[in-house]
Structure 1
Amino acid sequence: MNPTATPALIRETFPVGPLQCNCTIIGDPLTKKAIVVDPGGNPELIMARLEVHGLKVVSIIHTHAHLDHFLASGQMKELTGATLHLHKEDQFLWDNLEMQCGMFGVPYMPVPAPDQWLSDDQALDCGYGVALHTPGHTPGSMSFWFPQDKLLIAGDTLFKRGIGRTDLWGGDYATIERSIKQRLYCLDEDATVVTGHGADTRLGDEMRDNPFVRA
């Protein structure tokens, strides 16, 4: 099938969990297959939204392994049977979820190990999407690019007029700056950017007006 002839993806983003991480559902309107990105809490809400759209989750993917982005991943896997995906360089954070929860005063719930490691330029299971390795906020930070829909899920790498903090485990300012300039700012300026927290933005606006990293 010619991807240019396909209808627009189903996309819904909403805040979940104790730190209000943005969880995003990406669904194929034809096959009804879906990806869930960063299920950081409220699995019952995520499942309810999937049901509204009539979608079946095939994979649960993570922009990175800070606690607020995967607290409900185990519950989502149990409810859907979908596989968990993460970049291997963030395994140390995933494995230290209990420590992270203790630091932020968040109740700890064990999460099983990822089923598969994400790699740079890897095709995703839905929407002709591709995974981009964009380290800096964490060593294994990923962004997810859906070119047909001009949609970029940037996690905590790029925010509306901001960038991800680099003072946590494995963060590095020079690395996040390079990721944004070389991996994100080369994409379509008209792309909608779904950030890890807060409002969407437009990629071209960040390229010109982001006070931290400009194109």
Structure 2
Amino acid sequence: MDQTSSQLIRETFPVGPLQCNCTLIGDPISKKAIVVDPGGEPEMIVARLEALGLKLVSIIHTHAHLDHFLASGRLKELTGASLHLHPEDRFLWDGLETQCQMFGVPYTPVPAPDLPLADDEALACGCGVALHTPGHTPGSMSFWFPEARLLIAGDTLFRRGIGRTDLWGGDYATIERSIKKRLYILDEDAVVITGHGPETRLGDEMRENPFVRAGA
């Protein structure tokens, strides 16, 4: 188990055909949990929640590229948890079948999101906040857990990289602004969970990311 803080239960693992990083976040007192970006393998996600003694209440998404929500419908069916997405990414969610065709991934329908995600919205586990960080997609979100010094950045920020901006609704100037104005103002010691690949430290990216550096 990844345990960023005694105040937070956290486990991250890659799922699905494109190995998206899926993260479970749980409150150790209430045992309420959220899942971020269930891009595949819903039964395994449920098994991990059960092993940790957590009750899933919300399924939240950093954005609506196929690899970040392929298992969301099945996970909702298995747990009864609600689906949350920023409204500006609804066009991508509704276009899942087209996305699957383009990337050669089997298509399984996913129900519509239950609730919109808003900038500065408190998350259901009571320990984090949603940040609107557009650029990779118009509705891209990051999730900040200040007490745990934990940032889930989705495909906005990677270890020494940033999200691509050549897909539907992407924009380089916008992602650069999101990173500088919303992420690089956070705690430099924060662990950053990226959408794919290894974790990083926010301060390292501020100083060493070749695409977007703080103060540049």
How would you bin the TM-score normalised by the shorter chain? over 0.9
Q: Confirm whether residue 175 of structure 1 aligns to residue 174 of structure 2.
A: yes
Deviation of 1:128 after TM superposition, in Å, equals 1.9
SS in 2 for 1:75: helix
Counterpart of 1:108? 107
Structure 2 CA distance for aligned equivalents of residues 42 and 210 of structure 1: 32
8 Å contact kept, 2:27–2:127: no
Letter in 2 for 1:90: D
Length-normalised TM-score, structure 2: 0.96
8 Å contact kept, 2:154–2:194: yes
Deviation of 1:7 after TM superposition, in Å, equals 3.6
Counterpart of 2:198? 199
Counterpart of 1:139? 138
8 Å contact kept, 1:27–1:127: no
| Residues 26-84 of structure 1: CA deviation (Å, up to 9, x unaligned) | 00111110000000000011011101100010100000000000000000000000000
8 Å contact kept, 1:35–1:61: yes
Structure 1 unaligned runs (5+)? 1-5
User: For residues 153-164 of structure 1, what are the structure 2 equivalents within 5 Å?
Assistant: 153-164=152-163
Structure 1 CA distance for aligned equivalents of residues 142 and 201 of structure 2: 15
8 Å contact kept, 1:193–1:203: yes
Q: Confirm whether residue 23 of structure 1 aligns to residue 22 of structure 2.
A: yes
| Count of residue pairs the alignment pairs up | 210
Counterpart of 2:125? 126
Structure 1 CA distance for aligned equivalents of residues 82 and 45 of structure 2: 16
8 Å contact kept, 1:9–1:127: no
| Residues 158-198 of structure 1: CA deviation (Å, up to 9, x unaligned) | 00000000000000000000000000000000000000000
8 Å contact kept, 1:89–1:139: yes
SS in 1 for 2:21: strand
Counterpart of 1:66? 65
User: For residues 4-83 of structure 1, what are the structure 2 equivalents within 5 Å?
Assistant: 7-83=6-82
SS in 2 for 1:36: strand
Over aligned residues, Cα RMSD in angstroms?
0.8
Counterpart of 1:3? none
SS in 2 for 1:24: strand
Q: Confirm whether residue 150 of structure 1 aligns to residue 127 of structure 2.
A: no
